[in-house]
Amino acid sequence: MRIGVTGHPGVGKTTLVLKVIEKVPFKCGGMITKEIRKIGRRVGFSVHDILTGREGVLAHIHLERGPKLGRYRINLKDLDEVGAAAIERALEECDLVVVDEVGPMELRSERFIRAVERALESKKHLLVTVHRASNHHLAYRIRHEVDHFFRLTTTKRDRITAEVIELLTRAART
């Protein structure tokens, strides 16, 4: 079962992923991203390996090196060594591969792109979130190759979360 989710920033894509990981009867691995906030203001993003708990900085306003995207600089080292490595590990060790998210920052890493392509082509179950406006070939592939693709909104968030959990739980029984 391969499931994709998209939606506006802040609509709850990562929250959906966390609820799914908690509820489905699978060994889950892969990566999630979270905002880094200081004094109520977003200053960057972190990347987390679901399986190991390893954490890194994906992007930050105070980084001095790395590709620039808006007001952030991307930390390719942590993206590769935490994020892409988490996807690669999940492909070897887990039943459900999670990728949160395929967006402009993550798509700066060739290793990340290759890892997600492998996940998309594998027989493993996949839950992937995609930036809503990405025109990258990988985002296009995800939108068109997954078994189910959801557009998350605040009004449909709980229903879609329950549906994703049900789809994956049903897939675990087969």
Give per-residue pLDDT as tens, 101-134: 999 999 999 999 999 999 999 999 999 999 998 8
Examine residue 156 and state whether it is found in any structural domain, yes or no: yes
Question: What domain range is 104 assigned to?
Answer: 2-33+86-173
Q: For residue range 78-102, what is the model confidence (pLDDT) as tens digits? A: 999 999 999 999 999 999 999 999 9
Query: Would you say residue 173 has pLDDT above 90?
Result: no
Say what percent of the chain tops pLDDT 70: 100
| 106 is a domain residue | yes
Residue 174 has pLDDT above 90, yes or no: no
Interaxial angle between packed helices 157-173 and 13-23, expressed in degrees from 0 to 180 and rounded to the nearest 10? 30
Count of all residues that appear for the chain in the document: 174
| 155-171 pLDDT per residue, tens | 999 999 999 999 999 99
Tens digits of per-residue pLDDT, 12-60?
999 999 999 999 999 999 999 999 999 999 999 999 999 999 999 999 9
Residue 61 lies in a domain: no
Is residue 41 one of the residues assigned to a domain?
no
Give me the number of domains the chain comprises: 1
113 occurs within a structural domain: yes
Q: What is the CATH number of the domain that holds 158?
A: 3.40.50.300
Give the rounded percent of residues in the chain with a pLDDT score beyond 90: 95
**74 assigned to some structural domain:** no
Residue 106 and residue 94 in contact, taking contact as beta carbons nearer than 8 Å: no
What is the DSSP-derived secondary structure letter of residue 106? G
Q: Are 163 and 19 in contact (CB under 8 A)?
A: no
Q: Quick check: 109 and 86 in contact, CB under 8 A? A: no
